[in-house]
Amino acid sequence: MVRRMALTVVLFAGCIWCLALVTTADSAPSAPGGGPYKPVASVRGVMTGQMLAFKQLQTSLAGTKDVDRPVAIQLTSEALAELANVNTYNNEKEDYRGWAGQLRDTAMELAGEAKKKDNADEDKMKSLLAKLEATCKSCHDAYQ
């Protein structure tokens, strides 16, 4: 079960990596140096990816503590962070971008905690998951 979950996370992260390659390969300039970044996925697609990653994190954090669990949490958190990063470009409104940025930063904080493996703080990871959910809810209350 955990290996299947870890494989799903790795495949999902691979899809995100491929999306990043496609966006840079078709001459889309990078945001910092060459102009505005333009996401290629629909907002709905990005939101669906974020939802799937969040649900996977819920499952992983509620699951048994085996050897693959920290890696699954780390990779899923990183994928969620990248989707949130893309989402910062999907709306020009400051509050929307703020929530997307907060989601990205919190997901990366969760990835960092999971990276500690056996030394990861379970309560902190669960608290960060709750913060992710609250951030999503705040944005959805305003925009959904």
**Which tokens belong to 24?**
């840079």
Domain ranges of the chain: 2-139
Ramachandran angles phi, psi of 108, nearest 5°? -70, -35
Q: Decide if pLDDT at 32 tops 60.
A: no
**Helix and strand tally (H, E) in the chain?**
6, 0
pLDDT at 39: 83
- Cα–Cα dist 6/1, whole Å: 9
pLDDT at 46: 93
Fold observed for domain 2-139: Four Helix Bundle (Hemerythrin (Met), subunit A) (1.20.120)
Q: What angle do CA 69, 125, 50 make, to 5 degrees?
A: 80
Query: Residue 72: pLDDT band by 50, 70, 90 thresholds?
Result: very high
Q: Decide if pLDDT at 77 tops 50.
A: yes
